[in-house]
Amino acid sequence: AQTVTQSQPEMSVQEAETVTLSCTYDTSESDYYLFWYKQPPSRQMILVIRQEAYKQQNATENRFSVNFQKAAKSFSLKISDSQLGDAAMYFCALHQGAQKLVFGQGTRLTINP
Amino acid sequence: DAMVIQNPRYQVTQFGKPVTLSCSQTLNHNVMYWYQQKSSQAPKLLFHYYDKDFNNEADTPDNFQSRRPNTSFCFLDIRSPGLGDAAMYLCATSRDGGRSQPQHFGDGTRLSIL
């Protein structure tokens, strides 16, 4: 069975600093996608970044980047120059096929001004 | 421009009184999902439609039903809500559920049970 684990229930960072959120996963598939979603308080969940397992190059979207370690089954999210608007729950997710995502438990990120 | 629209944002119902939540989408996506999300937890998939094909998760209670009358609309029916059904309900879509495709979420409906 596919699983996704986020071992940090909560994280905090000073505004303008860098923070890394951890995610590990388990799958028997060789071709899969990983996603990071952001869910601000009382607002919709939105896609932050995605990574294809076959691509060695780490995905980057502006201040957001990932460190994808396929052998270690690790997929961490780095947020650079943290902003107050980055405060949210962050969910790591694995596309397990059959049109479905498997989500991690989430990490609540607080930005300290 | 909202692409996945859920109504209402907040719904209050009485214990045991049937309730329907609605979701519409302007993306013309084939797949629509319903999730239940309790406080500070990951979304839990209840079921999804691929076009008209209904796919129920094995652990979704019979109390939860869904309808998809057309591509744009999908409904979640809770036949006899219990206190444990109080949660945020999220609707999401995907173009065809492929591995590379992200899901697009609505704002959610927060359901309270009196």
Tens digit of each residue's pLDDT (9 = 90 or more) over B15-62: 999 999 999 999 999 999 999 999 889 999 999 999 999 999 999 999
Query: What number of H helices and E strands is found in chain B?
Result: 0, 11
Interface membership of B55 toward A (CB under 8 Å): yes
CB contact under 8 A, A33 and B108: no
Asked if residues A19 and A109 have their Cβ atoms less than 8 Å apart, the reply is yes
Confidence band (pLDDT; 50, 70, 90) for B1? low
Burial class of residue B106 in the structure, from the number of CB atoms within 10 Å of its CB (0-12 exposed, 13-18 middle, 19+ buried): buried
Distance CA A95, CA A37 (A): 13
Residue with tokens 């998809």: B68
Confidence band (pLDDT; 50, 70, 90) for B65? very high
Mutate to test the interface with A, among B9, B34, B46, B99 (most CBs of A within 10 A): B99
Coil, helix or strand for B10? strand
Give the angle subtended at the CA of A29 by the CAs of B30 and A48, to the nearest 5°. 55
Give the bridge partners for B60, in sequence order. Answer: none
Which chain B residue's Cα is nearest to A9? B40
Confidence band (pLDDT; 50, 70, 90) for B98? confident
DSSP structure class, residue A59: P
Q: Which of A95, A104, A106 sits opposite B99 (nearest CB)?
A: A95
Distance CA A106, CA A5 (A): 9
| Type of residue found at A72 | A
Tens digit of each residue's pLDDT (9 = 90 or more) over A4-22: 999 999 999 999 999 999 9
DSSP structure class, residue A99: T
Asked if residues A103 and A89 have their Cβ atoms less than 8 Å apart, the reply is no
Give yes or no for residue A99 having a pLDDT over 90. Answer: no
